[in-house]
Chain A
Amino acid sequence: MRYEAPQTVDQAISLLAGTHGNPRVLAGGTDLLVQLRAGFIDPELIVDIKQIDETTAITAEDGGFRVGAAVSGARLKEHDTLSLLWPGVVEAADLIGSTQIQGRASMGGNLCNASPAADTVPALIAAGATCALAGPGGRREVPVEEICTGPGQTILTDGEFVVSILLPARGSRSGDAYLRFIPRTEMDIAVVGVGVSLSLGADGQCSAARVAVGAVAPTALLVPAAAEALVGGVVDDAAIDAMAAAVRAVCRPIDDKRGTVAYRIEVAGVLAGRVCRIALERAGST
């Protein structure tokens, strides 16, 4: 195994594209090092992207923020204006692991690790975030929900990696939120996670919404039917119940050591309702 820390995106691409034997990108390393130590992976090359400006910066862009793929959760949380704009996304990143993990773990890593239970992914999907990918074939901007194709599987081609994530601008009277269920208060992997982002019109009716759910399918799911249950009306108990039912309807989880099929489906709906109420309150107060 070799370790390289390139200074530019192009250097990173040529390292990744020029190495056989499954080179791996290192951002925060909180998943990668565990996999290395456990012997799940044995890469020829580790490419540390934390020396690259673009992957480590948070920059304003078109009213939103572009977040480098290797920006740690702790730095994200310390960014006041970003936290005001997308509190649900920041909360989701903040839920990943302990304070120690927060010091390292990044949204880019969380996304590319492609765990169905990744906390930031439903929040990013709900937020309508996109990713900047760079590879030997050039650059492309891809919606977050298109990145993961299955557990541990992504659309990234050989030599391609996630450079940054764009959290878009949002209008007034908008709010987002993310909640997950874990058995303890910290240090667990989500049994279910739900992200909701919604906007209210001048009439108080829901003008736009995106709902995403994690840990209930091979990848996090965008749930258009759940959004449709909210958009075009007042977000009242009936609408929220319909939204929660739509979330439950798309769940196709597995039984495992972290939860059962029935439990996950049930709690997905419970969380969807709770998350929606938080997002609604935030939208109403902005």
Chain B
Amino acid sequence: MTDSNKTPSGNGTGNGKDYKWVGTRAVRPDGVDKVTGRAKFGADLHLPNMLVGKVLRSPHAHAHIRSIDTSAAEALSGVKAVITRDDFSDQPKGAVQPAGEMTINYRDMVRNVMAREKALYEGHAIAAVAAVDARIAAKALSLIKVDFEVLPHVIDPVAAMESGAPIIQEDLMTEGMEQSPGAMTNIAKRVEFGHGDVAVGFAEADVVIEREFTTQPVHQAYIEPHACVASMTEDGQGELWLSTQGHYVARGHCATLLGLDVSKLRVQASEIGGGFGGKTVVYLEPLALALSRKACQPVKMAMTREEVFRATGPTSGAHLWVKVGATNDGRITAADAVLKYQAGAFPGSPVAQGAQCAFAPYELNHVRTIGYDILVNRAKVAAYRAPGAPIAEYATESVMDEIAGVIGMDPLEFRLKNAPKQGSQSSYGPKFPVIGCIETLEAARDHDHYQSPLKAGQGRGVATGYWFNIGGQTSATLNLSEDGSVALVLGTVDVGGTRASLSMMAAEELGIDLDKVRPMIGDTSALGYNMLTGGSRVTFAGGIAVVGAAQDLIGTLKDRAAKFWDIPVDDVEWAEGEARATNGYTDNMQPLSLQEIAKDMAKTGGPIVGAHSINAQGAGPSFGTHVVDVDVDRETGRVWVTRYTVVQDAGKAIHPSYVEGQYQGGAVQGIGWALNEEYIYDDKGRLENAGFLDYRVPVCSDVPMIDTVIVEVANPTHPYGVRGVGETPIVPPMAAISNALANALGIRFTDLPMSPPRVLAAIKAANGDATTAS
């Protein structure tokens, strides 16, 4: 399927041709820096006269902050600045704005980066210091006296919805409710999506299955902790270096929180050591800037791993209810779900996205999803790879599998029978554009993995996942150098190979060798605005911007050639890296290469630059289907993933290796989510496993090779047919593994993670042995 290359119908000149670069496995341009240790990540910058900043964090899950006494810390030799809530102005109510796949409320953000009235979760920042070294900074933190009044806390989303639950935000009003709750609440929002009438649909069903599920918070667990270096000068200008998915977005957040003109802050993105959505918001950066503003010295801050787990966004844990009806011949008649997601201490769980995606892989006449966004005493959630979708689709794809089993249908045939296609009304409203749901299902069904026999005791599961993908504001510039090589300036942070994929499209468009394109991520002063790297948008939206910049550059190059030849520009074409005269001029004029035009650009009008800025629309949604085999140690409950295949529609794989890498990485994150990853709290609401020892991400020996199939159903809104690929791969694994376990054991699991104690308890219970509980 990798080469089932359907013709993209975009604007690129590469359209319909055999590509020289697009679709190849070129070595990434930033590769050597990354295999030699040169690449500079967030904590790798050292500036002269630099201070070290550290944060004092709440030991309590919920507490009033009566007072903070920083006098002893400030008096300590070597301490240059101390900040608390008093160093940040409050933000107005209702200052909400969209940011990537999430929304930002600055009144909440100012409280999240530094607690004001209350500490709302364990690890909530209370104060920060900057000192000449780490030892003195740590000593200073120990000298800060905070008077807390500890309050009752709540972590579980269902408990948080009950009347009498501890109230996280006293002034919270529920959005989306028809009636005011009449009392203080932790329910931040109610959303509803769907069409038809589920009651009518269930009446048509031969089989109805209704199940409840729970999931636990899981962390993005990028290997690089958050880190930044901030430098403010006496005149109020600032520079910020940070590990982020979006330096323009970070600039806006920091400028707002510090009351600066946005353009006074120049922000440079370091190399980023993983983000997965978790580096789309700011934590340390406003603190580092505020400390630097006080000290007038650069301040470096880096989180410990423990701080990352306690104080940065995991995604929601959830309680989920799903009900699906179908006829005996495999037609789904109705689908209904209620999703309750933890938001953390501030509104903004990805429940709306979960509710929208929950039944997206199906064409349905009667569908409804209701979602609740619920405050609890836990760090505010941040985006995590297809935010919201994996949680919802874990539950819905489990029920789909079960209902297929009850009516005796192959689970992929069941999905095929109900699959959406172009023009189908999605479960959340809009009609689908060109999509590849059916193609991925067919490719999974026909794959050797799905056709091969299982060993005794093993089980096989499948699940399909959906994610929207997004476009957004993007700028790119191509600066032609005097030797004909090109500097490609991008404003989208490269988290996993997009400098390669975007350079490849530039080289393809310009008709030049890839090594003549040198990409770099510019700072916030180098380009117009760029939305952050998220929503699987960079190869899609960045690709459109780069192709546009290349077309702009080519337009100028043709102008210069026309001027050189003194012919109308309409009689110049650009092909294979050179300007060619057409319409009868051909015989008299040798083509002009990019190098030749570049060499003489001073004579023909000066520097040549191609630029393009867009707000990209029409991101092609993507579907993926995963097939997984598991083995179970029936005496210990240990689950082994023995074989795994990811089938997903990429639209067009610009760099197939990095597309495969997204599929493989998403699958393995999903294996962790399914089997072992979870936040474990004690009875005081303190996280008990804030480290890689007990927050168990998969290690190399836990997983098999991950087979991949790249399906290519071109996205017509992109010049090369690209769809985002980064997020969909984490949607199916939890249900696929749960379905495989059901196949192996005849037991339906409804709680994540399916950790050994839980699996063993279920096996014992199924065998009628009640002596062992989980």
Contacts and interface: CB of A to CB of B under 8 A. Distances in A.
Contact of A262 (B638, B693, B699, B773): B773
Interface string B748-765: 000000011100110010
B676 A267 contact: no
B756 A181 contact: yes
A184 B688 contact: no
A146 interface: no
Interface string B678-695: 001000000011001110
Contacts of A266: 760, 764, 772
B702 A257 contact: no
Interface stretch (A66-74, A126-134, A185-193): A185-193
Nearest to A187: B699
A259 B757 contact: yes
A258 B694 contact: yes
Contacts of B688: 256-257
Interface size grouping (class) on chain B? 20 to 34
- Consensus secondary structure, chain A interface: loop
A186 B699 contact: yes
B77 interface: no
A102 to B, nearest CB: 14
B635 interface: yes
Contacts of A181: 636, 638, 756
B10 interface: no
Interface string B654-689: 000000000000000000000110001000000011
Interface in A234-277: 256-260, 262-263, 266-267, 270
Contact of A270 (B635, B680, B699, B773): B635
A183 interface: yes
A183 B676 contact: yes
A221 B226 CA distance: 43
Contact of A184 (B676, B772, B774): B676
B772 A263 contact: yes
Contacts of B85: none
Nearest to B672: A184
Contacts of B36: none
A119 to B, nearest CB: 14
Contacts of B696: 183-184, 187-188
A257 B680 contact: yes
Most buried by A among B694, B698, B755, B771: B694
B683 to A, nearest CB: 12
Interface in A188-204: 188-189, 191
Contacts of A270: 635-636
B701 interface: yes
A185 B641 CA distance: 12
B134 to A, nearest CB: 11
Given A188-B693, A257-B680, A267-B636, A183 B701 contact: no
Contacts of B702: 184-186
Interface in A152-192: 181, 183-189, 191
A118 B300 CA distance: 38
A213 to B, nearest CB: 15
Given A258-B694, A260-B773, A185 B689 contact: no
Interface string B108-150: 0000000000000000000000000000000000000000000
Contacts of B698: 184
B155 to A, nearest CB: 15
A188 B691 CA distance: 11
Nearest to A258: B694
Nearest to A191: B756
A183 B635 CA distance: 13
Given A263-B757, A266-B760, A185 B701 contact: yes
Contacts of A183: 638, 675-676, 696, 755-756
A259 B680 CA distance: 12
A186 B772 CA distance: 25
B309 to A, nearest CB: 13
Interface of B: 306, 635-638, 675-676, 680, 688-689, 692-694, 696, 698-699, 701-702, 755-757, 760-761, 764, 771-774
28 contacts: A38-B306, A181-B756, A183-B638, A183-B675, A183-B696, A183-B756, A184-B699, A185-B702, A186-B702, A187-B699, A188-B694, A188-B696, A189-B693, A189-B694, A191-B756, A256-B688, A257-B688, A257-B694, A260-B757, A260-B773, A262-B761, A262-B771, A263-B637, A263-B772, A263-B774, A267-B636, A267-B760, A270-B636
Given A263-B761, A266-B764, 7 more contacts: A181-B638, A183-B756, A186-B699, A188-B693, A257-B694, A262-B771, A267-B636
